[in-house]
Amino acid sequence: MDLNSDLGEGFGIWQLGDDAALLGVITSANVACGFHAGDPSTMRRVCEQAAANGVRVGAQVSYRDLAGFGRRFIDADPVELADEVLYQIGALDACARAAGTQVSYVKPHGALYNATVHHEKQAEAVVNGTRAFGALPVLGLPGSRLLARAEAAGLRAVGEAFADRGYTPQGTLVPRSEPNALLSDTEQVVERAKRLLDGEIVAVDGTVLKTRAESLCVHGDTPGAVHHAQAVREALGTVSAFV
């Protein structure tokens, strides 16, 4: 099982999460590319730390929404959105290559991630932007339009689950504005990870959902993120980046 986390989500003097500590635990780092968070210095620093820890770097692409942290839906023109995805991947890859590594996959962030579950044109835009850069794997929710579009385009589609987010009975993420959107108790987070090894996730109403996730996310901005990630890695035993 691959263990990923969202990193580099500070901006200027504003810092969010403990990137250095998480990079000692995870196998894949979803690095903010400057549109919802992150700046050139932060991007380069996280890439250098990831390379030093043998952690794979992924581009966490977003709507152009610094003020809303990329958590607000934007009815973006598909062509412009594809170009913005390409721009973000390229910017992060420059920082990664300066650090002796490279961008190895793409994962949408926040509202864009949720939109591409059902929004055909935006899912296609993310895939088009990715393909314009190269044949990179795409992380997304199992059953999403994003992964379907990625597969159709010949890209590696990687199903992802979340250790610290609530799920609806339909298999989508509970909106952060609603109750039970986040799992804050470490035991709950670890239990989610263990069930995932059996291909199961329990929704907020108790429904048991089947999933084919290959990567598990622990959010870097969740309270107690480092402790959660350490406990999950210990519970999983062996973790390795998806291939």
Task: Return the pLDDT at 152.
Answer: 98
Confidence of residue 197 (pLDDT cuts 50, 70, 90): confident
What are the start-end ranges of the E strands in 121-218?
Answer: 138-140, 157-162, 200-202, 208-210, 215-217
Task: Return the pLDDT at 234.
Answer: 92
In the numeric block, which tokens belong to residue 204?
């907020």
* Residue from 11, 31, 1, 22 nearest 105 by CA: 31
173-185 residue pLDDT tens: 999 889 889 888 8
Tell me what percent of the residues of the chain surpass a pLDDT of 90.
84
49-58 residue pLDDT tens: 999 999 999 9
Residues 6+ apart with CB under 8 A from 67: none
* Residue from 58, 71, 139, 7 nearest 126 by CA: 139
Tell me what percent of the residues of the chain surpass a pLDDT of 70.
100
Confidence of residue 48 (pLDDT cuts 50, 70, 90): very high
Mean pLDDT of the chain: 94
- Cα Rg of the chain, angstroms: 16
Residue 124 identity (one-letter amino acid)? E
Where does residue 15 rank: exposed (0-12), middle (13-18), buried (19+ CB within 10 A)?
exposed
Torsion angle, alpha carbons of 113, 117, 119, 125, to 10: 50
118-175 residue pLDDT tens: 999 999 999 999 999 999 999 999 999 999 999 999 999 999 999 999 999 999 999 9
Q: Does 221 score more than 90 pLDDT?
A: no
Task: Return the pLDDT at 214.
Answer: 94
The model's pTM = 0.95
Task: Return the pLDDT at 243.
Answer: 72
56-80 residue pLDDT tens: 999 999 999 999 999 999 999 999 9
Q: Does 43 score more than 80 pLDDT?
A: yes
